[in-house]
Amino acid sequence: MNNKYIGTSGFSYKGWQKTAIPSKKTFYKDKCNIQEYATHFNMVELNTTFYKQPSVATVKKWREQVPETFRYLVKVNKYLTHSKKLIDWESLFPDFYLTMSHLEDKLLGFVIQLPPSFQNTDKNRERILKVAKWSKKNYSTEDFYVEFRHSSWFCKETFTLLRGFWNVVIVHSSFFDFDVLSLWNSVGDNKPDKTMFRLHGTWKSQVYCGDYSDEQLVFIASCLDHGGIVAFNNTDSLQGQLQTPFVGGRGPTLFSYAGDTVLPSAVNDAKRLQILCK
């Protein structure tokens, strides 16, 4: 797959391990672990870093547990993105980076997810451009991917504003009614220098659930001719047999995948996209 990185947002979920559904096989043979995950995919988005900054020892362990070709995409801690909303980024990010830099060559880049309250205003455009330029100047070898959670940013002007500094994430979520996929072709020459899709699911009734259609995956694959990142975040629903509800989960399993095997939608979709990208 060359420079195409396909995986899921996170790798450790209760519903993905052996004990989640009695008598059924799940994604992991036993408990969730990055070594087994890395036998299936060449990338994972580390979302645990969004909630808590890990120790240096933990980061080094992550680095040592995966193959040479595997990469980690790091989600920036929510204190910087949601609490501070990029204020004091120049003084706060260096400490976070210092910890995560111990991933060394396994570091693929950083995801900056901004909250719905961060709307497209003159003040916020000025702030994000200032921070993006500073990041480019001081961390020129690193890639940054910004995900907006307010629809006012989903316009061609956003891509123009940040081009050359931060890469705008192509986000999709039926629950939040976000469909930046439809915007992609209209962006033209202002597409990000590097492409990233973050896919949260297709169910309108429940967030992080619902599998993607063949048509949607074919379109995404067509956008990766020059490489890119795809992180599936529809991690809360499973592909499985209808008579087997997702014990302890949110929502029923979907259609039968294969015999007694039940896969998370995120895993199933990522594997389907891998096939399309070969």
Contact 265, 239 (CB under 8 A): yes
pLDDT band at 182 (very low <50, low <70, confident <90, very high): confident
Question: Does CATH number 3.50.50.60 belong to domain 4-276?
Answer: no
HEC assignment per residue over the chain: CCCEEEEEECCCCHHHCHHHCCCCECCCCCCCCHHHHCCCCCEEEECHHHHCCCCHHHHHHHHHCCCCCCEEEEECCHHHHHHCCCCCHHHHHHHHHHHHHHHHHHEEEEEEECCCCCCCCHHHHHHHHHHHHHHHHHCCCCCEEEECCCHHHCCHHHHHHHCCCCEECEEEECCCCEEHHHHHHHHHHHCCCCCEEEECCCCCCCCCCCCCCHHHHHHHHHCCCCCEEEEECCCCCEECCCCCCCCCCCCCCCCCCECCECEEHHHHHHHHHHHHCC
Average pLDDT over residues 197-215: 89
pLDDT in the model for residue 241: 36
> Minimum mean pLDDT among 24-33, 107-116, 172-181, 245-254: which range?
245-254
**Which amino acid belongs to residue 116?**
P
pLDDT band at 143 (very low <50, low <70, confident <90, very high): very high
pLDDT band at 214 (very low <50, low <70, confident <90, very high): confident
Say if residue 155's pLDDT is above 70: yes
pLDDT tens per residue, range 125-138: 999 999 999 999 99
Say if residue 43's pLDDT is above 90: yes
Average pLDDT over residues 141-147: 97
pLDDT in the model for residue 213: 86
- Greatest mean pLDDT range, 2-11, 27-36, 119-128, 207-216: 119-128
The full set of domain ranges for the chain reads 4-276
pLDDT tens per residue, range 95-118: 999 999 999 999 999 999 999 999
Mean pLDDT score across all residues of the chain: 88
Packing angle of the helix pair 89-100, 56-64 (nearest 10 deg):
50
Query: What is the Cα–Cα distance from 125 to 40, expressed in whole angstroms?
Result: 39
Strand 263-264 relative to strand 238-239, pairing = antiparallel
pLDDT in the model for residue 257: 40
pLDDT in the model for residue 268: 87
Contact 246, 15 (CB under 8 A): yes
pLDDT band at 17 (very low <50, low <70, confident <90, very high): confident
Say if residue 245's pLDDT is above 70: no
Average pLDDT over residues 149-170: 94
Write out the two tokens for 117: 């309250």
State whether the Cα torsion 232-269-143-68 is positive or negative. positive
pLDDT in the model for residue 56: 98
pLDDT band at 45 (very low <50, low <70, confident <90, very high): very high
